Amino acid sequence: MSGYDDELDGLDGVDAAGAEVLDLVVPGTLDAIRVDRVISLLTGLSRSEASEMVAAGAVRVNERVVTKGSTALETGQHLVAVLPSPVSGSVEPDDAVAVDVVLDDEDFAVVNKAAGQVVHPGAGQLHGTLVAGLLARYPQMQALSDEGLSEPLRPGIVHRLDKGTSGVLVVAKTVEGLVSLREQLASREMGRTYLGMVEGHVAEERGVVDAPIGRSTRTPTLMAVRADGRPARTGYQVLERIEKPQAMTLLKLSLDTGRTHQIRVHMATIGHPVVNDPRYGHRRDRRLGEDRFWLHSRTLRFVHPRSGEDVVAGAVPPPDLVALMGEVKDL
């Protein structure tokens, strides 16, 4: 059930908030029935798929994760299960989807993703994704899925950004581009820097958060620092401490790894959540949307797949983020 494994362990930028969640109070008609059968009955998933969900830690009963499909439910219990994303089918090109191309090359394209835009289809959104717009503009990307090099719903996708994150990401158009860029990402040769506004004043001028990240045992739709998680390392540097309208710190952030929600989890862990983060933060700002937080992918650095030359591409923060920066300039 590869789709669900990827939902758990996805690359940087998977938006778990977009996952479909089964959330209900167990009715009397389901009393004493094992949890994997209940999930199968209610979702249409096979029993084996439901069992894999349970074993993967995606199901909790009364806020406790259950890992055995044979666990019998009781009337009145609170059942929450994170459902797998669809992995079959294909994406229909959609020229109505806006694609802001920063750098266009035979082997790749660097695009400036808008906040609120989902990179590829998933359980939370099947249409209007960035991939649909890319396929309309670059139909050759479809061949990467047809040849089995990319998953059907993610042709050419090298890495991702959360739905609420804006900024640059690179996608591949050719086999050479896909192989090279994936290798650079896996070997940490691809440089990625972000701008992030966090709550409060960060005391140190620079630092590194080195803490493993895994799926939260309390809330499966969230990530958390866990001793048994995957290695994760985020560097940060203070650019500006802001007093008004509230105490905030603008940071330059760099990723040594790319775990799901990595920056958001790490900043919350050190007591400085990303401003307006609806899942890991506290403080809200009416100038940003409900699911929009202050995080922007500022620059990408990688080696050209064919020429070997260094490629640097970036995008300045959009107006909604600039509005919270006060007098900060030259970003």
Query: For tokens 């074993």, what's the residue?
Result: 55
Which are the contacts of 291, defined by CB distance < 8 A and separation ≥ 6? 17, 116, 163, 164, 278
Helix or strand or coil: residue 47?
helix
CA distance 287 to 309: 41
CA distance 59 to 50: 10
Q: Active site includes 162?
A: yes
CA distance 194 to 239: 12
CA distance 163 to 50: 27
Distances (CA, A) of 208 to 233, 251, 272: 7, 12, 13
Catalytic residue among 36, 105, 162, 277: 162
CA distance 10 to 92: 23
Positions marked catalytic: 162
